[in-house]
């Protein structure tokens, strides 16, 4: 499969797979759209068509190893025949079993000019591993392109060509004002045909297709096919409001479900690629998880919302701002955090060094904290939470919440390989068919807190559970650590 259309993943629909492709929106600014769609997009297309380019790449690929000669018994009548046959078919070897000959492969994709001086946007997967990159223009001209920078996480790449005269360029529009039902136009290079235009509507926004940590795609039914990857999605004013990246298709052909990176996401990333040749994302040093209805009830949130902090990186910005495990982030730098996946995207887009307000819900009450954004570490390792608990005291095992529990001991640390920094109550077994089993709890894990209060013995857990029942709570919120110290919140029903 060419770089112009890559297979991403299955989307839990039998026979369907995500195939990378670039969707473009069809603008018709000079014409009003009736119930049946815009009267024509010809005038707008004539203006923007010359800014859309075909991206062609080539790459040297080593030839495969020679076919091994069959192993035959010594003296076999076929031994001489096969030796001579395979010697004729073998290519020269480099002495290490590798064929010296190589072959050149090529691929096609799409892109568009954003600066008359020669800056071109495309998908990272279109130019990945390419030895040579060329931009082919609508007038038949062809220019060699150099890579300015790339961002695999959003599948964006910025190229530069050196034209003899200024190029036709397009500008970004505001994807945040898009509505489901707005008309869009896509221009690209499907199947290597070049300069193909399709029209459709925005069929959904903020789509998560599990392709990366910052998924926030525009979904469109404008026809997108193999080779459209990297092309623009235009609004009715002829502005780029998306960069076509993927489609759902069983065969690589359009079935009316395509995805584009919103311009609001792409524009700041491309600006960083131009300035720094890399992307410098914001980072605060927290590990988060989704807020389920059960967790929301346990924390007194009223409804599921925000991002639950499961751990805080020692010495990171969040720790310095006094953000704690168990806090629910509901607003960050003036932007609402409606669900868990909103927070990483908002933080990543926040400039490094900026001081922002963070609104958290802590034990049922809102608090506003001030945090300074740091740069995401190069290795991007997950932060480890610092969740100290009181020293364990010896006690016999007890059963509670479908769990057999006992206090921490040196013997249990050795048995389950629990790190020294992990303290709490050890899970010895989990009742089959229990809610705890359904939640994935396992022997060797450690209950660190119950309803945001530290526990060090089974008796502590039993007391907390009894208190929750008296208060009319429907579930107990456990903070559970694995032997490595990675923690997560788990809500266990009290019925």
Last residue of a domain, one of 329, 360, 375: 375
Tell me what pLDDT residue 400 has.
86
Question: Are 52 and 136 contacting, i.e. CB atoms less than 8 angstroms apart?
Answer: no
Tell me what pLDDT residue 108 has.
80
Is 162 in the same domain as 305?
A: no
Does 125 qualify as catalytic in the annotation? yes
Give a yes or no: residue 227 inside a domain: yes
Last residue of a domain, one of 260, 279, 298: 279
* Chain segment 361-402, per-residue pLDDT in tens: 998 899 999 999 999 886 443 333 333 333 333 346 788 888
Give a yes or no: residue 171 inside a domain: yes
Point out the residues of the chain with pLDDT beneath 70: 1-37, 61-107, 192, 212, 250-252, 378-396
Question: What is the domain range of residue 113?
Answer: 1-67+103-279
The residue annotated as part of the active site, out of 151, 155, 342, 460, is: 155
Secondary element (H or E) of residue 415: helix 410-416
* Chain segment 443-483, per-residue pLDDT in tens: 999 999 988 888 988 888 988 888 888 888 888 889 999 99
Tell me what pLDDT residue 242 has.
95
Is 4 in the same domain as 122?
A: yes
The residue annotated as part of the active site, out of 5, 110, 229, 457, is: 229
State the binding site for substrate: 125, 155, 227-229
Last residue of a domain, one of 225, 245, 279: 279
Give a yes or no: residue 81 inside a domain: no
Which distant-in-sequence residues (6+ apart) come within 8 Å of 66 by Cβ?
Answer: 86, 89, 90, 91, 93, 99
Is 294 in the same domain as 443?
A: no
Question: Are 315 and 331 contacting, i.e. CB atoms less than 8 angstroms apart?
Answer: no
Tell me what pLDDT residue 376 has.
86
Q: pTM for the complete prediction?
A: 0.64
Is 183 in the same domain as 130?
A: yes
CATH number at residue 342: 2.30.42.10
Which distant-in-sequence residues (6+ apart) come within 8 Å of 339 by Cβ?
Answer: 290, 291, 305, 306, 307
Using alpha carbons only, what angle is made at residue 355 by residues 330 and 178, rounded to the nearest 5 degrees? 55
Does 215 qualify as catalytic in the annotation? no
In terms of phi and psi (left: phi > 0; alpha: psi -120 to 50; beta: otherwise), the region of 165 is: beta
Is 365 in the same domain as 417?
A: no
Tell me what pLDDT residue 84 has.
56
Does 229 qualify as catalytic in the annotation? yes
Nearest C-alpha neighbor of 360 from the set 335, 334, 329: 329
Give a yes or no: residue 381 inside a domain: no
| Contacts by residues 159-165 (CB-CB < 8 Å, ≥ 24 positions apart) | 159/55, 159/111, 159/119, 159/120, 159/121, 159/122, 159/127, 159/133, 159/135, 160/118, 160/119, 160/120, 161/118, 161/120, 161/135, 162/118, 163/117, 163/118
Report the C-alpha gap between 23 and 199 in whole angstroms. 10
Tokens standing for 255?
């079935």
Tell me what pLDDT residue 75 has.
52
CATH number at residue 116: 2.40.10.120
Domain count, the chain: 3
User: Is the C-alpha dihedral spanning 169, 227, 160, 219 positive or negative?
Assistant: positive
Is 38 in the same domain as 119?
A: yes
Tell me what pLDDT residue 120 has.
97
The residue annotated as part of the active site, out of 2, 56, 107, 125, is: 125
């Amino acid at each position: 499969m060419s770089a112009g259309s890559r297979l991403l993943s299955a989307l839990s629909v039998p026979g369907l797979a995500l195939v990378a492709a670039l969707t473009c929106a069809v603008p018709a600014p000079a014409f009003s759209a009736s119930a049946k769609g815009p009267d024509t997009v010809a005038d707008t297309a004539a203006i923007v068509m010359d800014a859309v380019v075909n991206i062609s790449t080539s790459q040297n690929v080593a030839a495969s190893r020679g076919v091994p000669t069959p192993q035959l018994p010594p003296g076999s009548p076929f031994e001489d025949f096969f030796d001579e046959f395979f010697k004729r078919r073998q290519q020269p070897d480099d002495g290490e079993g590798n064929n010296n000959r190589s072959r050149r492969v090529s691929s096609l994709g799409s892109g568009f000019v954003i600066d008359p001086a020669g800056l071109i946007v495309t998908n990272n997967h279109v130019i990945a591993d390419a030895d040579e990159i060329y931009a082919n223009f609508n007038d038949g001209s062809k220019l060699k392109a150099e890579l300015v920078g790339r961002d695999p996480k959003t599948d964006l790449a910025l190229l530069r060509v050196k034209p003899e005269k200024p190029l036709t360029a397009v500008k970004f529009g505001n994807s945040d004002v898009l509505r489901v039902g707005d008309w869009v136009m896509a221009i690209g290079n499907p199947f290597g045909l070049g300069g193909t235009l399709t029209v459709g509507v925005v069929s959904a926004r903020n789509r998560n297709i599990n392709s990366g940590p910052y998924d926030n795609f525009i979904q469109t039914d404008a026809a997108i096919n193999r080779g459209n990857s990297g092309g623009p999605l235009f609004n009715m004013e002829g502005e780029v409001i998306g960069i076509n990246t993927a489609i759902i298709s069983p065969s690589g052909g359009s079935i009316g479900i395509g995805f584009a990176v919103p311009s609001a996401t792409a524009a700041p990333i491309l600006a960083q690629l131009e300035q720094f040749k890399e992307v410098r994302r914001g980072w605060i040093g927290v590990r988060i998880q989704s807020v389920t209805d059960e967790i929301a009830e346990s924390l007194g949130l009223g409804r599921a919302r925000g991002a639950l902090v499961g751990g805080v990186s020692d010495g990171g910005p969040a720790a310095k701002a006094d953000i704690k495990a168990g806090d629910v982030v509901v607003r960050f730098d003036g932007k609402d955090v409606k669900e868990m996946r909103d927070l990483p995207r908002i933080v990543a887009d926040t400039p490094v060094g900026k001081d922002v307000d963070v609104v958290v819900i802590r034990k049922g009450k809102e608090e506003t904290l001030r945090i300074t954004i740091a740069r995401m570490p190069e290795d991007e390792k997950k932060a480890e939470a610092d969740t100290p608990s009181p020293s364990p005291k010896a006690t016999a095992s007890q059963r509670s919440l479908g769990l057999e529990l006992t206090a921490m001991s040196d013997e249990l640390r050795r048995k389950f390989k629990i790190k020294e920094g992990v303290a709490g109550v050890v899970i010895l077994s989990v009742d089959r068919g229990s809610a705890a089993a359904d939640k994935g709890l396992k022997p060797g894990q450690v209950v660190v807190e119950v309803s945001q209060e530290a526990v060090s013995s089974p008796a502590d857990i039993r007391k907390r559970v009894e208190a929750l029942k008296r208060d009319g709570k429907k579930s107990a919120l456990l903070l559970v650590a694995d032997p490595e110290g990675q923690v997560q919140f788990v809500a266990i029903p009290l019925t």
